[in-house]
Structure 1
């Protein structure tokens, strides 16, 4: 497959420094009916950070990767930097919003957080429903985080990391209950590593062999393990990720088809048209027309 690298066109909103501490890595904000979101979230976008939103009371609807979510009370919504988000309208919100960056997760004392299911999000989930007992525990941990956040000092970061580890571990247990899956084997870990590399490189690398080189294994072994663990070929995983991104751009943006093709690493729009038609049964133009008609 011939490719051409390009920058993604959808805006990526950076982490805004925390108003209380000035931190560029971590913030927590409690809302009592305010409108905490700016107008730009009404446009399709990504965030350059992880976000957890604990809702005591809310209303409205938002979209994550072309999936609509009617917001519910007593729920936990979470998103990662790769997901595409858009709200339909500004709405009041009662609850707590927690945000942190990849740089925060890269700190040595936060190493355990990076591997939790909620952060890895292998099922591409977005919503956890909380029982009253779950809500009480989550609310208490968020209150502890908020109190520590307002108490600067030598031990503040260690305490924030400790409370966050407990919170995300608890939420990860709920995640595995609501999105079932067992402890991964070595082959399952290889599958996850392959998927992670696809997430980082799908615009530039369109061949399984290139990912095998990144993983320091043969393309044959990678293909065999991926097929056995997922039931899908290695190239199918890569193609599905390209199709997902193409659908995001076709649905959410007004970009010309040629621009989308280049953004996804295709050197010619005709290659992109044939690829998309083969994978979905529709041309990109047909898909854009049908999906927008469906959600008008």
Structure 2
């Protein structure tokens, strides 16, 4: 399991750091071993034009087929087997949102991560991606071309929230801000009040927003993110259960064990065995 520690402890960086956006064919020559689980430190949008394959995104398995779009976020555990799948990968870091305001990175955190698009919608997205790719392929990108790249990307990204099955509510912005804070704070913050303090809102307002938008309480969403981080750490298999409990600031190993049992019905070792089986 040493390769898991190497790939997941140190997230894969954007291959061409000097470029704000990278678009590559789905079968491009990765600078890392894509056959093994890895974490990105950037967003990745996958457009599947034809063929088939499979993906595992944070322990959820997907069968790839033509006309699909996938959204992978920084920090997620990802494994993709392309098989015969052809299409495009769109890659960019959070800092690009400085240039495509008012869109913010947290607007891309969706309940669903796999979308099967209508043919005309997919064709539109693919055409926009190809336009960006044509601009990027120019050796020296001038100021006008850079603005075109940002504009095309903004058009594409602004369309993604419309793909969600959840109806848009007046609370959505608050909810997506909350969801975007969870991955970076879950190890040290497990109370709803912690996130209310970060966002400057009341507990009741956040809870009402989460219930209206997602049908879950804020605490339930915190617990789901905490379980996700536990599963990631169990996949690494480099720390003992006691050490993981300590890293995640549980009061005791017993409380850590109790949390896993309550959430999954499994013991920590049973949960770890089920996780390792997914990536075998």
Shared topology, TM-score over 0.5?
Answer: yes
**Pairing 1:92-107 to 2, within 5 Å after superposition:** 93-105=85-97, 107=98
Q: Deviations over 1:93-113 (max 9, x none)?
A: 5322211100112x2x31133
- The runs of 5 or more residues in structure 1 that have no matched partner are 1-7
Larger Rg computed on CA atoms: 1
Residue-by-residue CA offset, 1:109-153 (whole Å, 9 max, x unaligned)? 311332685x232x1x22222333223322321221122223421
Question: After alignment, is 154-163 or 54-63 more displaced?
Answer: 54-63
1:37 aligns with 30
8 Å Cα contact 2:37/2:279 also seen in 1: no
Alignment of 1:120 with 2:109, yes or no, is yes
Which residue is equivalent to 2:101? 111
1:48 counterpart SS class: coil
What residue in structure 2 maps to residue 5 of structure 1?
none
8 A contact 1:55–1:75 mirrored in 2:
yes
Provide the rounded CA distance (Å) in 2 between the counterparts of 1:225 and 1:77.
26
The CA distance in 1 between the partners of 2:215 and 2:118, in whole Å, is 34
Out of 132, 151, 154, the residue aligned to residue 145 of structure 1 is: 132
Query: In the alignment, which residue of structure 2 is the partner of 1:80?
Result: 73
1:132 and 2:119 are equivalent in the alignment: yes
User: Is the CA contact (8 Å cut-off) linking 1:110 and 1:161 kept in structure 2?
Assistant: yes
Q: Does 1:16 align with 2:20?
A: no
1:166 aligns with 2:155: yes
CA distance in 1, matches of 2:279, 2:79: 14
For structure 2, the residue ranges without an aligned partner over 5 or more in a row are 1-6
Q: TM-score, normalised by structure 1?
A: 0.78
Measure how far apart 1:290 and its partner are.
4.2
3-state SS of the aligned residue for 1:55? strand
Q: C-alpha distance in 2, partners of 1:258/1:15?
A: 34
> Aligned equivalents of 1:212 and 1:224: distance in 2?
13
Q: Secondary structure at the match of 1:133?
A: helix
Identify the residue that residue 218 of structure 2 maps to in structure 1.
234
Quote how far apart the aligned CAs of 1:45 are. 2.0
Q: Deviations over 1:202-228 (max 9, x none)?
A: 111122222222233444554566556
> Tell me, what secondary structure is at the counterpart of 2:101?
helix
8 Å CA contact retained: 2:59, 2:278: no
Superposition RMSD in Å: 3.0
- Distance in 2 (CA, whole Å) between partners of 1:196 and 1:273 is 26
Question: How far did 1:70 drift?
Answer: 1.8
Identify which of structures 1 and 2 has the higher relative contact order when contacts are C-alpha pairs closer than 8 Å and 6+ apart.
Answer: 1
Structure 2 SS opposite 1:41: coil
Structure 2 counterpart SS, 1:96: strand
Q: TM-score, normalization: structure 2?
A: 0.82
